[in-house]
Amino acid sequence: MLHLTLAQAGARLVEDASAALTLSLRERSVYVASLPAAAQSVCLRSRVAFPFTSRGSNTDGCGAYGRQFRDGEGRATRRSKRWYVELMKKYAVVLEHHGCTATARELQQLATEMGGRVDLDSHEEVMQYMVARVSEGMVAEIRREAGVLHPVLEEMDASVGVLGTKLYDAKLVLSAIAIQAADSGVQDAVRVFGFELDSSTIADAVLVHDVIMSLMTLHLDDRRRYRSCTRTQEVRVALEIVKGLVPVGRELFLCDTGADPNEDDVAAILVRVNANLLADGTLDLPAQCCPAPLCAAINLVCVVAIVGWFWTCLLYTSPSPRDS
C-alpha cells in the first residue's frame, strides 16, 4: 500500500515495506463487530474467498493467505493440498444445503480431481492448479454465501493453528498521521506514535497496536472502546495530538490487495476516518456514539468514500507485503 497526501502535491510518499499490526482472533472479532453492516459484509466476503484468490508468491509454503493469518507466535501458517481439498469439500456441502447446487458440484469435482493429483507437491503448485480452475462465478457464489461459509473457514484455519491476523495498511495510515503531526511541528511526533525516525519502522509494537485499536474503536460507546492495559497515558498523548491536527482534506491510498477490498483495507480507512472525525471535533476522547459520517464512509469502502471534507480513493495494485 502506498500513501500520498494530495494536498502536499506529491511532496511526501510513504511505502509500507514490512511491519504490520498483529491482532489476536479476539481482537479481530471486536474490530469486525465494530463496523457497520456493509463493512462487515466486505470483510466476510473477502475472507471466505481469500484462499482461492490469493495473489503473489507461494514459494514459502504459506502464500498470501497464510502470511495474513498467523499462529500464536506470529508465524505465517502453512496449508497442505489436503487442507484445500477438505475446505472445498466442506464448502460444497454447505453450498448444496443452501441451494447453490452448481457451485457445490464444481467445488466437489475440483476437490476430487486435485486430491488425486500426485504431482502437486508444493504449495505453489497447489495454488496454481486451484486458482486456474476456480472460476469467477464460483468465487462470486462463495462470496454471496459468506455468512454460512465463514464458520467453516474458521474451523479449517484452527486446524492449522491460526490464532491471529496481520493488518498491514492500518499501520501505514498511522505512519501518515505521525508524519502529518511532525510536519505540523509536533516535537518527536513519530516516536510518540511508536515509530522510528523513518516514520515507517515500528519502534514500539505495543504502542502502535494500542493507538490503532483505540482509533479503530473511537466511534463506539465508552463500554465498547478499546483501552490499553499498559500504555494508557502514551495512547492518550497520541490521541490528543491527533485531536489537534488539521483534518486532512484529501488522501489517496493505493491499496495492494490485487483481488478485492478486505478487512485490512477497511481497518485502514476506519483509522483514517476516526482520526479525521476526532480532529474536526465530531468525535472527542470522551464517549460518543457512532456518527453518520463514519457509517457513510465505511459503507462505501469498496471503492470510494466521500464524507464532506474527507475523500479516499482505493486503487488495487500488487505486490503486497503479504505477497512476498
Alpha carbon distance 211, 243 (integer Å) = 13
Q: What does the block give as the cell for 32? A: 469486525
pLDDT tens string, the chain, 324 residues long: the values are: 344 443 333 344 444 445 677 888 888 888 788 787 888 888 899 899 999 887 667 677 888 889 889 998 888 999 999 999 999 999 999 999 999 999 999 999 999 999 999 898 888 899 889 989 999 999 999 999 999 999 999 999 999 999 998 877 888 889 889 999 999 999 999 999 999 888 888 899 899 999 999 998 888 888 888 888 889 999 999 999 999 998 876 655 554 544 556 777 788 888 888 999 999 888 887 544 444 444 444 443 333 332 333 334 333 333 454 555
pLDDT digits 0-9 by tens, 23-47:
888 888 887 887 878 888 888 998 9
Q: What does the block give as the cell for 318? A: 500488487
Place of cell 500504555: 231
pTM over cut 0.85: no
Alpha carbon distance 308, 273 (integer Å) = 11
Whether 180 contacts 168, CB under 8 Å: no
Alpha carbon distance 165, 23 (integer Å) = 5
Contacts of 22 (CB under 8 A, 6+ apart): 70, 74, 164, 165, 166, 205, 209
